[in-house]
Amino acid sequence: MPLHEIRQPAYAIERKLQGLAMAENCREIIISEESADFIRRVNRGPEDLARLYPGVCLQYINDFYTVFYVPVSFLDARERTDFDYESFPILYTLLENEGLEAGTIIQIQNQPVLQLKGSGVILGFIDTGIDYTNDCFRDDAGNSRILEIWDQTIQSGNLPVGLDYGSVYTREEINEALGSGEPFSVVPSRDEIGHGTQIASIAAGSPDENTGWTGAAPLSDIAMVKLKPAKQYLKRYFMVAPDAEAYQENDIMLGVRYLHELAQREKKPLVICMNLGSNMGGHEGNTPLSSVISTIGAKTGRCVVVAGGNEANRGHHFYGRIMEGQDFQDVELRVGEEEYGLTMEIWGTTPDELSVAVTSPTGEEVPRTSIRNGNQKYSFLFEKTVLYIDFQLLGARSGDQLIIIRMYAPTPGIWRLRVYGRNLIHRVYNIWLPTADLLNAPTQFLSSNPDITLTGPANTEIPITVAAYQVQNNSIYINSSRGYTRRGRIKPDIAAPGVEVRTVASGNRYTSMTGTSVSAAIVAGAAALLMEWGIVRGNRPTMGTVDIKQLLISGARRSSTELYPNRSWGYGMLDLYATFMELGRF
Q: Give residue 82's pLDDT band: very low, low, confident or very high (50, 70, 90).
A: low
* Closest to 493 measured CA to CA, from 549, 413, 548: 549
List the beta bridge partners of residue 387. Answer: 378, 407
Cβ-in-10-Å burial (0-12, 13-18, 19+) of 151 comes to buried
Q: Which domains does the chain have, with CATH numbers?
A: 3-76 (no CATH), 99-311+456-585 (3.40.50.200), 317-445 (2.60.120.1290)
Give the model's pLDDT for residue 107. Answer: 81
Predicted local confidence at residue 370, as pLDDT? 82
pLDDT of residue 220: 98
Q: Determine how β-strand 475-476 pairs with β-strand 464-470.
A: antiparallel
78 pLDDT band, cuts 50/70/90, is very low
| pLDDT value, residue 395 | 53
Length of the chain: 586
Question: Could you tell me which residues are beta bridge partners of residue 168?
Answer: 150
Mean of the pLDDT values across residues 440-453?
96
Ramachandran region, residue 163 (left: φ > 0; alpha: ψ -120 to 50; beta: rest): beta
* 3-class SS of residue 223: strand
More confident residue, 44 or 569: 569
Give the 3-state secondary structure of residue 463: coil
* Distance set, CA 86 to CA 83, 328, 346, 397, 539 (Å): 8, 29, 16, 9, 41
Least reliable range by pLDDT among 66-80, 176-190, 252-266: 66-80
107-111, 207-211, 324-328, 534-538: least confidently modelled range: 107-111
Distance between CA atoms of residues 306 and 465, nearest Å: 5
Question: How many other C-beta atoms can be found within 10 angstroms of the C-beta atom of residue 195?
Answer: 26
pLDDT of amino acid 103:
64
pLDDT band for 382, please (50, 70, 90 cuts).
Answer: confident
* Dihedral sign from CA coordinates of 261, 266, 272, 273: negative
Phi-psi region of 363 (alpha: psi -120 to 50; beta: other; left: phi over 0): left
Contact 274, 290 (CB under 8 A): no
What are the tens digits of pLDDT across the range 116-165? 999 999 999 999 999 999 999 999 999 999 999 999 999 999 999 999 99
Q: Give the model confidence (pLDDT) of 449-501 as tens digits.
A: 999 999 999 999 999 999 999 998 999 999 999 999 999 999 999 999 999 99
What is the edge-to-edge ordering of all strands in the sheet holding 428-432?
A: 317-321, 428-432, 341-348, 402-408, 386-392, 376-379
pLDDT computed for residue 19 by the predictor: 43
pLDDT at 54 over 60: yes
Report which of residues 352 and 73 the model is more confident about: 352
For position 411, what pLDDT does the model report?
Answer: 95
The model's pLDDT over 404-428, given as tens digits with 9 standing for 90+, comes to 999 999 999 999 999 999 989 999 9
Q: What is the pLDDT of residue 369?
A: 87
Q: Which band of pLDDT confidence, cut at 50, 70 and 90, is reported for residue 582?
A: confident
Confidence of residue 102 (pLDDT cuts 50, 70, 90): low
pLDDT at 86 (0 to 100): 74
Higher pLDDT, 275 or 22: 275
Q: Is the pLDDT of residue 171 over 80?
A: yes
Alpha helices in 375-414 (DSSP H): none
Residue 101 — pLDDT band, cuts 50, 70, 90?
Answer: low
Check pLDDT > 70 for residue 18: no
- Predicted TM-score (pTM) of the model is 0.93
State the average pLDDT for the chain.
90
pLDDT of residue 97: 46
Identify the three-state secondary structure at position 573: strand
SS (H, E, C) 303-345: EEEEECCCCCCCCCEEEEECCCCCCEEEEEEEECCCCCEEEEE
Q: Tell me the pLDDT tens digit for each residue of 236-287.
A: 999 999 999 999 999 999 999 999 999 999 999 999 999 999 999 999 999 9
pLDDT given at position 48:
82
